[in-house]
């Protein structure tokens, strides 16, 4: 899409959209091709794949930690404390 077409889909300034597209280009999520006075932006599948892998890794690690915490909490509740022992 052209930058103007992207901007038309949002309630922010074209300048803000341009800045966001610049960041997305810098990190490899989109590519930009100058066509006259306009820039044509395309999604970069390899960049999106890297992002998806990073998100999947993050959530996997975070969810694993959550399970470990829940198991520790459950074990603590099942184990009587010194005050509760006869």
Tens of each residue's pLDDT in the chain, 86 residues: 999 999 999 999 999 999 999 999 999 999 999 999 999 999 999 999 999 998 888 777 788 888 999 999 999 988 876 565 55
| 31, β-bridge pairs | 42
Q: Are residues 38 and 68 in the same domain?
A: no
Q: Are residues 7 and 39 in the same domain?
A: yes
Q: Does a structural domain hold residue 57? A: yes
Domain that holds residue 35: 3-43
Rounded to a whole number of angstroms, the CA Rg of the chain reads 24
Q: Which backbone phi and psi does 40 adopt, to 5 degrees?
A: -100, 120
Q: Are residues 30 and 49 in the same domain?
A: no
3-state secondary structure of 77: helix
Q: Are residues 49 and 38 in the same domain?
A: no
Q: Are residues 38 and 60 in the same domain?
A: no
Give 6-11's long-range contacts (Cβ < 8 A, gap of 24+). 6/41
When divided into structural domains, the chain yields a total of: 2
Runs of H (alpha helix) within the chain: 3-7, 14-26, 45-78
pTM of the full structure: 0.64
């Amino acid at each position: 899409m052209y930058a103007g077409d992207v901007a038309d889909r949002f309630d922010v300034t074209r300048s803000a959209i341009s800045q966001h597209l610049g960041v997305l280009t810098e990190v490899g999520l989109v590519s930009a091709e100058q066509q006259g006075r306009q820039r044509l932006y395309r999604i970069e599948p390899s960049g999106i794949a890297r992002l998806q892998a990073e998100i999947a890794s993050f959530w996997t690690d975070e969810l694993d930690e959550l399970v470990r915490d829940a198991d520790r909490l459950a074990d603590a509740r099942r184990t009587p404390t010194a005050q509760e022992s006869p």
